[in-house]
Amino acid sequence: MSYAVSGALQAAIYEALLADAALVALVGNSIYDAVPAGNVPELYVRLGTETVRGASDISGAGAAHFLTVSVITTNPGFASAKAAATAVSDALHDAPLELARGRLVSLRFERAAAKRVDAGSGRQIDLRFRARVQDDLSTQNGSLEE
């Protein structure tokens, strides 16, 4: 197993979302790892939780990352959140992301959950993706992490 690619994966996902014209048309540059203090936009995207499982094999150290990207709005309806969630899904599902370390084997949409937040006045859609990565540095160094 290797967790070493996690930072590179997160950075590539963040960059892919910022580079997606359809998503930027909906949320602008309101794509965050951590939501800033103070007033937040009516509609924004937040990189969320991540769970990682080992997925090393004979070809080298690898991992399966289960990550959440959330679309959050203060608007009372789901329409704007669903439009942004669609753009997130389109931008990431099977995206050929280049990582600063390791390589992305696959990135797939798994599921989504939509819910009311803020006493029902806002909405949140959590999209879960599964990324399979391989850490090429571990095989270059002659070691195989298990």
What does the pLDDT read at residue 119?
75
pLDDT digits (tens, 9 = 90+) for 26-51: 999 999 998 888 998 999 999 999 99
- The pLDDT confidence band at residue 121, using thresholds 50, 70 and 90, is confident
CATH 3.30.310.50 fits 6-140, yes or no: no
Instruction: Check residue 139 and give its pLDDT.
Output: 45
* Residue-wise pLDDT tens digits, 6-31: 999 999 999 999 999 999 999 999 99
pLDDT over 70 at 4, yes or no? yes
The ranges assigned to domains in the chain are 6-140
Question: What is the predicted pLDDT for the residue at 1?
Answer: 59
Can you give the chain as a three-state secondary structure string?
Answer: CCCCCHHHHHHHHHHHHHHCHHHHHHHCCCEECCCCCCCCCCEEEEEEEEEEEECCECCEEEEEEEEEEEEEECCCCCHHHHHHHHHHHHHHCCCCCCCCCCEEEEEEEEEEEEEEECCCCEEEEEEEEEEEEEEHHHHHCCCCCC
